Structure 1
Amino acid sequence: MKALTVDRHADDLSCVTLSEMEKPALHTGQVLVRMRASAINPSDFNVIHGRYEQALRRAVWNYDKPTTYLLPRGQPLRRAPCTLGSEGVGVVEAAGSGFFARRLLGRRVAVVADLPESGTWAEYLAVDAGRALPLPKDIDDAQGAMFFINPMTTYILTREVLRVPRGGYLLQTAGGSALGRMVIRLGRRYGFRTISIVRRVERAAELRRLGGDAVIATDSEDPFTRVAEITGGEGVHSAIDSVGGQLGSEVLRCLAPRGRLVCYGALSQQNTVLPVREMMMSLAHVEGFYLGNWLASQPRWKLLSILRNVKKLVGTGELGASAERQFSLSDYETAFAYARSGAGKALFRMN
């Protein structure tokens, strides 16, 4: 089979190779999925560049250990050499032993890679049956390929972590991203108001048409001043940031007393400098979020409940996303350039 792999991490994309490999062997409880499509997410580039590994090496539970773990005593981090790609959609062609695995034979499923060396940017994937979710006909392959990471992150941040109340404000950076648009649509559904920060003013009108209550373009507006105007000087009680750097610091200054900022990305590749005295005075809370670690810390009943809700919201379109471009695995260099340009969501197509 063909797969996109790395045998080392690098600051550029020169480490990515289109490789010819054997189909993965099945273990107990696994299914073999013939992949149809797979999303290209910003987090995939963090795997290529080794940024997760660099961060986790600095965690105390990994200090001076030969293996890098996502959580204390958790699963090992994916690191080179490995197959790339984190989520996708395909059809189950074979099953290892186990009742649940055999029940999935012939089913079309959304999958999320689970083993440190495995990935979805491949023609075949072996994955634990518990990470293969059967899809109804009303969720097409493009939506199925993007089912897990952005929809679940959006739902969990807004409904489980921050629990943004009806009528409350949620301030978000990267408002024009696929996830940012999902946040806006969930705001319309659940009654919370969104303030979305984007880089360019031409994105603002588009997000307002989508239902965004307010949009701030940093190329022509100051985020702190605009948030003060929008909220009548009250600030926001909830904020999410995937950019970091100077913008992350500005978002912190926009928090209301006892407000919370959840950091779930670092697109700028710059650390956020904390305005410590302002945080002291406002009793602000800053916390990190990484989807894999959050899910690993939840009871099974909670995960099943979230999956049901996300599946429903993907089907109704609130957590749906459009794939502007689709590429073959062999055209990965063009696919990467498009995905990193900010022009829209990109997928790999395997058939």
Structure 2
Amino acid sequence: MSKIVRFHATGGPEVLTLDDVEVREPGQGEIRIRTRALGLNRADAMLRSGHLMELPSGIGWEASGEVDAIGPGVEGFTVGDAVSLIPSFRATDYPIHGELAIAPATAVVKHPDTLSWEEAAALWGQYLTAYGALIETAALKAGDTLLVPAASSSVGLAAIQIARSVGARPVALTRTSAKRQQLLDAGAEAVIATTEEDVVTRVNELTDGQGARVIFDPVGGPALARLIGAAAPGGTVIVYGALSTEATTLPVLAVIGKSLTIRGYKVFDLTTDVERRKVAVDWILDGVARKVLRPVIDTVFPLEDIVGAHRRLESGSQVGKIVVTVRR
């Protein structure tokens, strides 16, 4: 029997339990992993608090660990290999948070031994999201100004690192000044506290009135109009989340007047495409090898405190990734 994170009713972090479950053998095209660390994502909280057709349910997209068993038709892996997981599957089909996890082999990658288990569990979701939006979609390049709302999230920090790696200028957006120094230390060229400063005015000051060519927004809501006001003519606004619970109003005349591209983005479009995913994985591994990309971990919790880890996730006070370790 293995301890698996599940919930028997939807709700807050307190609904999570550690259940003793018999984990099956891997089937065709599958790998079983003995986990060492689990990475938390905002999507985990959305799944846990949403409405499911079938309960109890498992949870989780990201983990690192060792190959425990290999199913038929799988090549390129050996029992004992150090691996981590790319979010490219439905967590309700392959819930991976627990001591043992079954995953499709297409989602399993070997990670460099320069990364700890915690860093490996924090790697793929954030960097693939930022890479796909910024490099593949927006073609971010040297000299570009990039606006990063919710910059203290793991994806926001990955975006700052990726921008720096190509010579772009990342400007971090955060609600208050409380995280200003941490974001500057993380590589932001400037930090705008959105409840204390006018975003459009500050961006114009930072860009000599040119505006930001790329905006990478996970929030939506009323703030999107201000971001569009700060965009450069011909710029690209990528929306990859809807953290705001308020309605999003699009200032159409500003979009037309600036000839903006507004693009919806989800990482699964990248991670479920074999060829695109390979290019992205190689690009990120190269960045890790050159030490220009490195996961920022906010807090590490033991598996036994999975509820506390989810509470930290929902607090909004973190800077970086929340990781859960699995003791052996």
Distance in 1 separating the partners of 2:300 and 2:5: 16
Residue 245 of structure 2: aligned partner: 269
SS at match of 2:142: coil
When residues 105 and 153 of structure 1 are mapped into structure 2, their CA distance, relative to the original with a 3 A threshold, is: same
Distance in 1 separating the partners of 2:190 and 2:302: 38
Contact kept in structure 2, 1:82 and 1:118, CA below 8 Å:
no
Residue 35 of structure 2: aligned partner: 35
2:276 aligned with 1:302:
yes
Residues 123-179 of structure 1, C-alpha deviations (whole Å, 9 max, x = no match):
111112221111221121011111210011122222111111211111110122222
Q: Deviation of residue 193 (structure 1)?
A: 1.1
Q: Deviation of residue 220 (structure 1)?
A: 1.9
Letter of the 1:272 counterpart: T
Residue 199 of structure 1: aligned partner: 175
SS at match of 1:100: coil
2:24 aligned with 1:24:
yes
Distance in 2 separating the partners of 1:256 and 1:323: 33
1:47-62 alignment, distance < 5 Å: 47-50=47-50
TM-score normalised over the length of structure 1: 0.85
When residues 25 and 270 of structure 1 are mapped into structure 2, their CA distance, relative to the original with a 3 A threshold, is: farther
1:1-351 alignment, distance < 5 Å: 1-10=2-11, 12-50=12-50, 81-100=56-75, 103-112=77-86, 114=89, 116-296=92-272, 298=273, 300-341=274-315, 342-344=317-319, 345-351=321-327
Contact kept in structure 2, 1:108 and 1:134, CA below 8 Å:
yes
Contact kept in structure 1, 2:30 and 2:74, CA below 8 Å:
no
Determine what percentage of the aligned residue pairs are the same residue: 25
Residues 10-40 of structure 1, C-alpha deviations (whole Å, 9 max, x = no match):
4x34543322211133111211111111011
SS at match of 1:110: strand
Distance in 2 separating the partners of 1:139 and 1:284: 39
Q: Deviation of residue 312 (structure 1)?
A: 2.3
When residues 7 and 118 of structure 1 are mapped into structure 2, their CA distance, relative to the original with a 3 A threshold, is: farther
Mean Cα displacement is larger for which, 106-115 or 22-31? 106-115
Letter of the 2:114 counterpart: D
Contact kept in structure 2, 1:82 and 1:117, CA below 8 Å:
no
Q: Deviation of residue 89 (structure 1)?
A: 0.3
Residues 314-347 of structure 1, C-alpha deviations (whole Å, 9 max, x = no match):
3444332232322223312211122222234321
Q: Deviation of residue 99 (structure 1)?
A: 4.6
Q: Deviation of residue 100 (structure 1)?
A: 0.8
When residues 121 and 2 of structure 1 are mapped into structure 2, their CA distance, relative to the original with a 3 A threshold, is: same
Distance in 2 separating the partners of 1:147 and 1:283: 35
Contact kept in structure 1, 2:271 and 2:277, CA below 8 Å:
yes
**Structure 2 unaligned residues grouped into runs of 5+:** none
**Structure 1 unaligned residues grouped into runs of 5+:** 54-66, 68-78
Distance in 2 separating the partners of 1:269 and 1:319: 32
TM-score normalised over the length of structure 2: 0.90
Contact kept in structure 2, 1:147 and 1:314, CA below 8 Å:
no
SS at match of 1:163: coil
Contact kept in structure 1, 2:8 and 2:55, CA below 8 Å:
yes
SS at match of 2:75: helix
Distance in 2 separating the partners of 1:158 and 1:323: 22
When residues 126 and 144 of structure 1 are mapped into structure 2, their CA distance, relative to the original with a 3 A threshold, is: same
SS at match of 2:222: helix
SS at match of 1:303: helix
Contact kept in structure 1, 2:222 and 2:248, CA below 8 Å:
yes
Letter of the 2:184 counterpart: R
Distance in 2 separating the partners of 1:81 and 1:274: 39
Letter of the 2:80 counterpart: G
Letter of the 2:7 counterpart: V
When residues 99 and 202 of structure 1 are mapped into structure 2, their CA distance, relative to the original with a 3 A threshold, is: closer
When residues 310 and 188 of structure 1 are mapped into structure 2, their CA distance, relative to the original with a 3 A threshold, is: same
